Amino acid sequence: MDGKIGVLALQGDVSEHIAAFEQVIRERQVNIPVVEVRLPGDMEGLIALAIPGGESTTFMRLIDQNGLREEIRNFSGGIFATCAGMVVTAREVKDESRFAPLGIVNTVVNRNAFGRQRESFEADIPVAGIASPFHAVFIRAPVVELAGPDVEPLAVLPQGIVGLRSGKHLILAFHPEIGGDLRLHHLFLDGILSLPRPGA
């Protein structure tokens, strides 16, 4: 199959995202390279792009410094964004004046909805599209407080939306790349690849 999966390698748990997608590709028995993305030229040939967690202000500064803002905004493939990725892909970030997000997904995000690092937590949460609850790891996690009509909520907590789909994009407040449960990676690729996964 033509195309590659890119992982934005500016900060965050890049190696964990690469390992997770490589495992999913092996399970689906397809030959798709997973590559690091640091510069605009690295976007060539991608069918999907993962945006890891990290510190959103730093993330946006590095995206702009590396000339990636318009490349990501105009990307026609699917985006798999986690934690800070939910913040940088939003239309608006609540009470944030230091950077302008990418505006890819029609959402308003509260970037530290659960507090600081010490309020990080884990929870088993229902997620639409997978059969049983997902053990989610939240680290200084954001939530979506407002979402447009083109956004499909997949997981909701009292604070707001923590998982959503918008077109080909899958946006999550938590970290599915750690813990070994790759069902959300498969769910994402179901919307990208024409070949069904074995056993699906």
Q: Which tens digits make up the pLDDT trace of 86-120?
A: 999 999 999 888 899 999 999 999 987 776 655 67
**Average pLDDT value over all residues in the chain:** 92
The torsion of the CA quartet 50, 67, 102, 21, rounded to 10 degrees, works out to 0
Radius of gyration over every alpha carbon of the chain, rounded to an integer in angstroms: 16
Question: How confident is residue 140, by pLDDT bands cut at 50, 70 and 90?
Answer: confident
Predicted TM-score (pTM) of the model is 0.94
pLDDT of residue 40: 97
Residues 44, 57: Cα–Cα separation, whole Å: 26
Question: Packing angle between helix 14-28 and helix 183-190, nearest 10 degrees?
Answer: 70
DSSP state of 183: H
3-state helix, strand, coil in the chain (%, to 5): 25, 30, 45
Q: What is the dihedral of CA 183, 185, 188, 189, to 10 degrees?
A: -110
What is the set of domains in the chain, with CATH numbers? 4-190 (3.40.50.880)
Residue 141 sits at φ, ψ, to 5 deg, of -80, 145
Query: If DSSP codes are grouped into helix, strand and coil, which group holds residue 121?
Result: strand
Choose the catalytic residue: 83, 96, 169, 185: 83
- The closest alpha carbon to 189, from 8, 36, 46, 25, belongs to 25
pLDDT of 47 over the 90 cut: yes
* 178 pLDDT more than 80: yes
Instruction: Say if residue 185 is exposed, middle or buried (CB neighbours under 10 Å; 0-12, 13-18, 19+).
Output: buried
Q: Among 123, 131, 169, which residue's Cα sits nearest to residue 150?
A: 169
Q: How many CB atoms lie within 10 A of CB 155?
A: 21
**Which pLDDT value is given to residue 101?**
96
How far is residue 179's CA from residue 195's CA, in Å, rounded to a whole number? 26
Whether 27 sits among the annotated catalytic residues: the reply is: no
| Tokens 């500064």, residue located | 61
| Arithmetic mean of pLDDT, 11-30 | 94
Q: What is the mean pLDDT of residues 76-86?
A: 96
How high is the pLDDT of residue 179? 83
71 given a catalytic annotation: no
Asked if pLDDT for residue 54 goes beyond 90, the answer is no
Active site residue 83: yes
Interacting residues of 17 by C-beta distance below 8 A, sequence separation 6+: 7, 50, 52, 82, 177
pLDDT value at position 2? Answer: 73
